[in-house]
Structure 1
């Protein structure tokens, strides 16, 4: 077996940066509220924006890595970004640059000048890029270090085994000790300085193995074909799609990868139209103007939140009855739908809370949270009922139901289409009810209620008025 433990350990030591950056993020809100004296909401907003950016970036960086840079350069850039970002974060604390900037060295908002503020926000951007870059490239680059003849196995020679064990022990122990010890360190400069030093050390260890790494050229991104289909279909929007799908462009030298034509999203079929004013050879040279039917169909598969794509992959690789096997499909296919679902959940929850707060009687506002949770609880129960009904309906006529014993044999894509249709119906119903609903102005009535209460409290007692009322 091939011995790649040396390069392997020099790469995996970069996990230090990920662990310590996660710690820095964990204490960031406390730092902003205690030192910068920010409100909890403002501090939480900064942390949430940071988290959102570091979650969105991996998709774009993976595309750039697969198309242009490759795993190594993305890992190198993100590691350097980590180093500079963590260093700037430590330098943004008041005591570090107080002498150079002429500010005080106390952990107080008055000691935070423009230089410290700029360094802090730049550090967040660099750390977010570093985190996203490691998510995109660290795992793939580690896998690139295993030669094909090793059969996926990595082991150390007997004479290197003690050193390898010691290296693994240090690699795991150092970030664990740091994370548990840092909370007991009071000065924030040291709290952020230690992760910065460890990140620098891990990057230097990684750079020490440059001569021993296996470098793989960018293989190209599957997202490129999707972009090409959208561009080509848009450029040919005024051209008529042929009635016979056999007239669309396809290549016979890709028999193993052919995907049959379907009638879904037929507007995208225009990307495979062969124009009469140019030869086919001329059009084939520009993939942004002419795409294969297979590429069009693969793009169609990505349009519905991606279960149909998963089923197509497991069918192609013969994994229908192998639920424990790893599916050769990137987890980033799930990223867009989870982002949309996360945004929808947050907006829906806030919307329901706002509705109950403004529209329910004031005496019932104590139950507002319970009302909100009740709505979502009813939705959870309804989801169970929808699965049961969908399974019963899909079995009618002796057909195979959508929900089978294994996930690979199930047709969850059909169920997701059903949910999409129900959501569309619910949206129409909501629009109708919302347009007919008689709203009350919660803020104005609250002010009037508060004003009337104040008037009643502050008004002097008048016997004549009391008698008159009687």
Structure 2
């Protein structure tokens, strides 16, 4: 954000749009890459590809800033580029000794199969007899009992009388197990909660856009040292990690309580704190504008922004931990990682 504003001379709205679009595309691509890792590529090759890509982009960006002279922005891009190249070389040096697991398939495929199987039998009526619902009792996996909610998906487990059962079992996109349908139902029940991620994404995006723009117009001197403005993000990250640890400690203390008391109250708490964070930022901005109207320079210190960065980091940590807790209690184990990625997709879209 600072580079786009100070070096490329973009307007604030244009620079913020670039940052937010990048964040949104990165979040959406994360889910797509996760699907490729689980279904086709595997973790090792994806890590190799991403490391090479990041090293190339970082090196190319820093080389573009070399001319006509070495600037502070060249150093800021060159240092992480060198670190990334070094990390890549260290990682590849031990490639022959790594254990590589073959991709076992993405859990998203199961969800897609349930929808496809239900749609293929849309003209069939509902089966009231549970004996007509397919379940593979010999698969050795955990089985879930059938529920009456979201009955539109029950068509995926209906055994048609017009075709032999063995023929139907061969096509997994036409006949699913009861457990697979129930897993999909549990996933659908979490969809309303993802709307909170859209709102949270709007607040989370302030840290990389509006807050940095505020800092860019304040006095960043600390004693005789000129404070790098992105350093404020470290305070936010420290608050995020600290709040997550506090949430983990609280969850461990309540581990023996009944399940109904483990509701992730952190999600509404983080939303309420988002209001306070925005209010703090608005108050600081009104103070800055009042000073600008009376003086040519702004004597306000950049540390006025520290409270809103700390609150923003705390909001992020509480929301992440609470959302993960909710997924652990409601979503099948194999889908937690993918659905957590989907949460960040919604956050990215909200930004």
The TM tier, using the shorter chain, reads 0.5 to 0.7
Query: Is 1:410 matched with 2:259?
Result: yes
In the alignment, the residues of structure 1 paired with residue 39 and residue 257 of structure 2 have an alpha-carbon distance, to the nearest angstrom, of 31
Q: Note the alpha carbon deviations across 1:224-269, whole angstroms, 9 max, x for none.
A: 2111101111111111121112211111203651111000000000
8 Å contact from structure 2 (residues 134, 176) kept in 1: yes
CA distance in 2, matches of 1:215, 1:272: 35
Partners of 1:218 and 1:341 in 2: CA distance: 32
Tell me the distance in 2 between the aligned counterparts of 1:60 and 1:50: 15
Aligned counterparts, 1:54-453, within 5 A = 54-93=26-65, 95-96=66-67, 105=68, 186-254=71-139, 256-305=141-190, 337-338=193-194, 340-344=195-199, 406=255, 409-411=258-260
**Displacement of 1:83 after TM fit?**
1.0
Measure, in 2, the Cα distance between the counterparts of 1:83 and 1:64.
21
C-alpha spacing 1:56/1:215, structure 2 compared with 1 (3 Å): same
Counterpart CA distance in 2 for 1:412 and 1:236 is: 40
Distance change >3 Å, CA 199–CA 255, structure 1 → 2: closer
Give the distance between the partners of 1:304 and 1:54, measured in 2 at CA: 26
Superposed structure 1 runs of 4+ greater than 6 Å apart: 412-416
Q: Return the alpha-carbon distance in structure 2 between the equivalents of residues 211 and 89 of structure 1.
A: 31
Deviation at 1:74, TM superposition (A): 1.1
Structure 1 residues 66, 30: CA separation in 2 closer, same or farther (over 3 Å shift)? Answer: same
Give 1:289 deviation, angstroms. 1.0
State the shift of 1:89 in Å: 2.1
Displacement of 1:347 in angstroms is 7.2
Once the two structures are superposed, the pairs formed by residues 29-44 of structure 1 within 5 Å of their partners are 29-44=1-16
Q: Provide the aligned length of Structure 1 versus Structure 2.
A: 217
Q: Equivalent residue of 1:411, what SS?
A: helix
1:82 Cα deviation (Å)? 0.8
Provide the rounded CA distance (Å) in 1 between the counterparts of 2:39 and 2:110.
Answer: 11
Query: How far, CA to CA, are the matches of 2:196 and 2:167 in structure 1?
Result: 43
TM norm structure 2: 0.55
Deviations 1:1-40 (A, max 9, x none): xxxxxxxxxxxxxxxxxxxxxxxxxxxx111111110112
What is the CA–CA distance in structure 1 between the aligned matches of 2:193 and 2:61, rounded to whole Å? Answer: 33
What are the ranges of 5 or more consecutive residues in structure 1 without an aligned counterpart?
1-28, 97-104, 107-184, 307-335, 349-403, 420-470
* Structure 1 residues 412 and 284: alpha-carbon distance in aligned structure 2, compared to 1, 3 A threshold: farther
TM-score by length of 1: 0.42
Change (3 A) 1:278 1:413: farther
Larger radius of gyration: 1
Separation (CA, whole Å) in 2 of partners of 1:67 and 1:408? 38
Separation in 2 of the partners of 1:222 and 1:283? Answer: 21
